[in-house]
Chain A
Amino acid sequence: MPKFENIKKVLILGSGAIKIGEAGEFDYSGAQAIKAVKEEGIEVVLINPNVATIQTDKKFVGDKAYFLPITPEFAEKVIEKERPDGILLGFGGQTALNCGTELAEKGILEKYNVKVLGTSVEAIEKADDRDLFRKTMINAGVPIPKSKKANSIEEAVRAANEIGYPVMVRVAYTLGGQGTGAAFNEEQLRRVASIGLVHSRISQVLVEEYVGKWKEIEYEVLRDLDDNCMIVCSMENFDPMGVHTGDSIVVAPSQTVSDEEFQKLKSTSFAVLKALGLVGECNIQYAVHPVTGEYKVIEVNSRLSRSSALASKATGYPIAYVTAKMALGYRLPEIVNKLTGKPAGILEPVVDYIVVKMPRWDFQKFRNLNRRLGTQMKSVGEVMSIGKTFEEALQKAVRMIGNGRELTNQLNETDLNIIKNELKHPTDERLFYVVEAIRKGIAIEEVNRLTGIVPLFLESIKKIVEYEKELAATGLTQESLKKAKLLGFSDKKIGELFGKNEDTIRELRSIFNIKPAVKQIQTAKRWSEKANYLYCTYNSDKTDEVNFSESNKAIVLGSGCYRIGSSVEFDWCCVNTTWALKERGIKEVVMINCNPETVSTDFDVLDKLYFEELTLERVLDIVEKENHPSVVVSVGGQIPNNLALKLDANGIKLLGTTAKDIDRAEDRSKFSDLLDDLEIEQPKWSKLESLEKSKVFASRIGYPVLIRPSYVLSGSAMSVAYDETQLEDYLKKATDVSKEHPVVISKFMLNAREVEVDGVCDGENVFVGAIIEHVENAGVHSGDATMSLPAMTIDEITKEKIRRITRKIARDLCIKGPFNIQYLVKNRDVFVIECNLRASRSMPFVSKAIGKNLMDIAANAMLGEKIEDGEAVVEKFGVKYPQFSFMRLEGADPITGVEMVSTGEVACFGRSFEEALLKAMIAGGTKIPKPGDSILISVGGEKEKAVETAKKIMHNGYRILATGHTADALTANGIVCEKVYKISEGKKPNALDLLAERKINFVFNIPHPNRIVAQAITDGYLIRRKAVELGVPVFTNLELVDSLANALRNNINLQIS
């Protein structure tokens, strides 16, 4: 049967900001869905405030992208205006699913006659409501863990007693295991259940038999309206049950499952989908007992997910595209290759390689964080490697993570007991402890007993570890080098064993003719004859049929793993650059990237895709194979940028700014010299030469001082020292991060405004995209700052100064491409703090605000064409607002500073700054206080500003609560407020009690910056943390609070466009 005929316009809900558990994968799946729908001649309307996505681009979705919060209130307004015939809920993660379910429950979809396409809301509820799910599975004869629902802590305790400890507490309607946890006794249960109840949309948890250390197997399943079912991919978790799959290393296809088991699980999957009535794609997780083979269905995701994006990339089968087609009424056999008409939908992909997915955590950025892994996801990104053997793929994956580590790097840990404890209680370091344990001779059986990781994988690691020893002993011969490469060792690592650098090993490989083969992923070819979905391996004799002969070609280096500081915005820059280069006549654009959560790794988007490491070694391998085309390093964030000098040293031509000029900006010391030469003001600075000299310098210019390493993104190891002890501490941290490049100390300016310029330069002409102002005073990392367009408090004279300096720097550095310069402004004085000769995080935001794609202009500049010397006009008010994931990160203090901690961002637009700000805040998940709500205010240090802010909102009907001195200050200034006890005062009820009783709706907690000490458990920390755990909005910045107060005072009407 063909598609439904009465569908002419479809609304798609996006997933909003990137957060832990909901990342860039939804840009990929949403983009594929839009493509699939548009192909049918159907109009698409999209709601997604994630401004850095491809799916919201005009080029992609047209004018109908609404940058609005994904809430039923805003969705209803859009539906009312656009009158879509159908709605797709499965492409925007849990955010979209939850919003859609609410729209249905509120009768809005019925009211406007909007048909839910694909899986019905009833089916979504059956899969997501833990209790309904349980009943459905029992009726269908599908084995599941014993469980009971509970609506209160006491009910949960009773349920656990019935089932027996340990138990698992699960929450309905969440993702990334938010609010879930294992409990081994009643005390733990009470804690976990109380958090779980808060996180549930329907205040319900499920207490369940705990199956820790069972094998975790996942299937990606498709089902159409005729009940045709198929499996796209099977996956096996390296880390067994007990560690969230998002925090597990995952292998595809499954490796320790026999045919009989495989088929049994597959048939069960089909039965599950049928029982739930799901149409489209679904992810099913099984726990399989390693000794008895008993299995249970753990969870079903009735939507596109992180796993489905991974499965798409692992197989070359476009799951989201096919799912969208099925939602429009197509049956699997009817889904064909658009060009050839050959069936492509109904074919289970088979692979002749192995895929390893590896998570990335950024725990080092947070203070007080609990690093243990469990049932709540904590990773911020992932990579995928492809190899012919597990050993090869595993070693590649470790390098792809992008922190310079190798699998077999030694840990500084000799105590076997500590190692064993780390094996038993996993953290982000577990894999390296496994390696260390095996190296130290702990038996595989014991490692298996402690970790639950199956011996098959452990034996592979042992093979690697043992070969490393053997290689060091035998020395480098053609045979031994070849074997090392087969096992996935890098040139760099091999070199280290012999005290040689990687260039030497590369030369040796060249002499021995040991080179990787380039392989095609065949399934992609079924969808597009032109697809070139490639990877490299040493475990094959022969390169597949790939055309390397095109001479008009460029390579764009992708952004690699998503991490704090480098996320979907750099993928946006990469994809837009490749498209721009194509449009400007480059015949073949090649992408290298290793992040499965991206649009840039969609085999359909580019001429050639290498799903590969962004290491010097691999980039050189590919450049060689592709006959030395030019390489773009300036659009993928810091990873490609950091390769600039090394690629240049290897004779590779960079497209755009030269490596030497990049170094002049990235090397903090050279850059500060340059500013001095150009007579441009900057905060007083000094290069770190010795600790003593630094101390002298710091006391001369006066504390606080800022410590900055070179060549870093997201302010890694950047810190503000308020005294000499802190200075010593932080200097050590910074030199660890920046070994090859200098560290600089500069004056940290208080009460300064921070301004950024995003622009493009062709070496001469400079196009200023926008002058952006931060809402927060300087001191909050630009990635964590709320950005305003246009700049609000900077006057024309100062702006003119900024333009002049911008041009001066851009020309002096001979920039040919995108750049970003950051400034401090104090009393009309302008100081330069940083210049990046690459695309910046804010460029998608700026591009969308000015209606001009900066990547298009940058492509012109890179190709040597002249660009316009001028400045864009900002036509509407725009606010970019950060998204934090503190709730996921147990213990993490939700404060901001010079090192970035946010995971994503949204942007909204409006008729005024206030309107845009409020919408952006809502889009970022903040519940805006309503009259009658209680706001708790506590401010460290000076209180004047807090008093001013409180005055603004005191007449709007809010109940104001305050702690100790803040309360005194407010009362003294005639503001009616209730005094609340601090925890340290030892009296009840204190602030925490009130929070727990839900008597506080909003927290303004402004810590005094120089009182934030590592690991200190202060009153402020306890309040902030508790609020985060209970989902109560916390604001820790005065300027931001003040802007919010202005917006609240003015009672702004929030419109959709």
Chain B
Amino acid sequence: MVGYPEALTDPSYKGQILSLTYPLVGNYGVPSKVLDLDLPLYFESDKIQVNGLVIHDLCHEPYHWASSSTLNEWLSGEGIPGIYGLDTRRLTKKLRNRGVMLGLLQVFEKNDDPNFDVLLENCKTIADPNLTDLVAKVTTKNPVTYNVNGRKTVVLIDCGVKYSIIRNLLKRGINVVRVPYDTSANDVLFYNPDGILLSNGPGDPKKCIQTVATIRELCEKLPVMGICLGAQIIALAMGADTYKLKFGHRAQNQPALDLINRRCYITTQNHGYAINMESLKATQLEPWFINPNDKTTEGIRHKNKPVFAVQWHPEASPGPYDTELLFDVFAKNLEVH
């Protein structure tokens, strides 16, 4: 029920209509765009990324000390349609049974009379966003530098990065250079980085051909950390395979079990693709974390290089902070390297 400002601005949701199962949404309003470390404190990117929002009940009178507008005002301000009054649990069930499907959310004015036949017909011709290069739409167009005068610098390959990832590096005194997803290894090395962070992002990892090539080369040379889509790209780069999950993992309550010390963490997950566990055998990668529920791969690491990646979001936002320590592991790798 919490985390809608973060979720709506998460670039991984680019091109999607988001439906929330918790029935009451908007209770604590929308925070203002105050900046912290040059990044908006309460959001994951500069704008709403989803194409539409579907909820059960909308709160018109939010209450929270940090609220500066209502959810409705925010959505209309950014021209994003939303609908409330729907049984979203019922919708979720449908999606769970049949898998994610294409949908149409059209806004009508008061006196319009919607023609359902036409709408249903229109649905058939919606372009599948997964077939387009979604990452290209959300990656930064030009390199951006965030300098905190740290001793170390990380190049962040932006496949649709959430600001919290950048914030987690800056908080640890690490400078960040954010580059487009299709930057070549040579161009990355030009910044003389101490390590590489490969970000999250929308869609199928196999569409990111240039990124796969870039990361294959960088893994040999530098400490690398991958998150979500980034984890899948690293797996592909090292010769493993990925596949589309029948039921994507999208929740803030997913467990991830450390196979080495049996510790278990509650994590935020938002991924529709996964790494094939079997395919890891032929590579230099080994499984590190699994989801104890469906036993899918949640984390991988290189057998002898400082390279690791997880499918979930250690930067949380929304979700639990339990695994922020992975950024500490990465920071330590930068020092050792």
| Residues of A bordering B, CB below 8 Å | 1, 226-231, 253, 255-260, 262-264, 266-267, 270, 289-293, 331-333, 342-343, 346-354, 388-390, 454-456, 459, 519, 539-542
Contact = CB atoms under 8 A, between A and B. Distances in A.
Contact of B292 (A255, A343, A456): A343
B3 A259 contact: yes
Contacts of A519: 89
B108 interface: no
A803 B301 CA distance: 80
Contact of B266 (A291, A348, A539): A348
A396 to B, nearest CB: 15
Given A343-B293, A540-B89, A351 B63 contact: no
B301 to A, nearest CB: 20
Given A255-B27, A352-B22, A539-B56, A292 B65 contact: yes
A390 B24 CA distance: 9
A541 B61 CA distance: 25
Interface residues of B, number: 47
* Closest 9 pairs (CB-CB, A-B): A348-B253, A259-B3, A456-B63, A259-B318, A259-B2, A459-B61, A346-B255, A343-B292, A333-B264
Contacts of A454: 63
B194 to A, nearest CB: 28
Contacts of A346: 255, 257, 264, 266, 292
B316 interface: yes
A389 B24 contact: yes
Main secondary structure of the interface of A (DSSP, over half): loop
B272 interface: no
A293 B253 contact: no
Interface in B25-44: 27-28, 31, 42
A257 B87 contact: no
Contacts of A388: 23, 56-57
Contacts of B319: 259, 263
B263 to A, nearest CB: 6
B65 A290 contact: yes
A353 B23 contact: yes
B27 A256 contact: yes
A352 B21 contact: yes
A230 B27 CA distance: 24
The residue in A270, A456, A541, A542 that gathers the most chain B C-beta atoms within 10 A of its C-beta is A456
11 contacts: A256-B28, A258-B5, A259-B2, A263-B316, A332-B264, A333-B264, A343-B292, A346-B257, A350-B253, A388-B23, A388-B56
B317 interface: yes
Interface string B233-275: 0000000000000000001110101000111111000000000
Nearest to A390: B24
B329 interface: no
Contacts of B322: 229, 267, 270
B1 interface: yes
Contacts of B90: 540-542
A253 B292 contact: no
B303 to A, nearest CB: 25
B66 interface: yes
B6 A259 contact: yes
B120 interface: no
A389 B57 contact: yes
Contact of A258 (B2, B21, B22, B257): B2
Interface in B290-322: 292-293, 316-322
Contact of A350 (B21, B23, B56): B21
A256 B2 contact: no
B64 interface: yes
Given A259-B2, A259-B317, A333-B255, A228 B264 contact: yes
A354 B23 contact: yes
A258 B32 CA distance: 13
A354 B1 CA distance: 10
Contacts of A255: 1, 24, 27
Contact of B252 (A227, A331, A350, A540): A350
B326 to A, nearest CB: 15
B65 A291 contact: yes
Given A259-B3, A291-B65, A293-B66, A352 B23 contact: yes
Nearest to B90: A542
Interface in B54-75: 56-57, 59-66
Contact of B293 (A228, A342, A541): A342
Nearest to A260: B42
B3 A267 contact: no
Given A259-B6, A293-B66, A388-B23, A456 B61 contact: yes
Contacts of A290: 65
A228 B320 CA distance: 13
Nearest to A444: B61
A333 B262 contact: yes
Nearest to B30: A258
A258 B64 contact: yes
A349 B23 contact: no
B177 to A, nearest CB: 27
B134 to A, nearest CB: 24
Contact of B63 (A1, A230, A256, A343): A256
A270 B60 CA distance: 34
A352 B226 CA distance: 32
A141 to B, nearest CB: 15
Nearest to B265: A228
Contacts of A270: 322
A752 B260 CA distance: 75
Nearest to A391: B57
Contacts of B264: 226, 228, 331-333, 346
A227 to B, nearest CB: 7
Nearest to A293: B65
A259 to B, nearest CB: 4
B63 A455 contact: yes
Contacts of B3: 259
Interface in B196-210: none
B9 to A, nearest CB: 12
A263 B317 CA distance: 9
Contacts of A257: 2, 28
Nearest to B41: A260
Nearest to A542: B90
Contacts of A258: 2, 5, 28, 31, 42, 64, 66
A270 B42 CA distance: 23
Nearest to B7: A259
A333 B292 contact: yes
A267 B23 contact: no
B259 to A, nearest CB: 11
Nearest to B22: A352
B37 to A, nearest CB: 15
A541 B56 CA distance: 11
Nearest to B61: A459
A267 B322 CA distance: 7
Nearest to A540: B87
Contacts of B61: 455-456, 459
B292 A542 contact: no
A667 B265 CA distance: 61
A351 B262 CA distance: 27
Contacts of A455: 61, 63
B248 to A, nearest CB: 15
Contacts of A540: 87, 89-90
Interface in B1-21: 1-3, 5-6, 21
A343 B87 contact: no
Given A256-B63, A348-B252, 9 more contacts: A255-B27, A258-B31, A259-B6, A267-B320, A333-B262, A350-B253, A352-B23, A389-B23, A541-B90
Contacts of B265: 228
A138 B66 CA distance: 27
A849 B230 CA distance: 68
A256 B28 CA distance: 5
B314 to A, nearest CB: 12
A226 B260 CA distance: 13
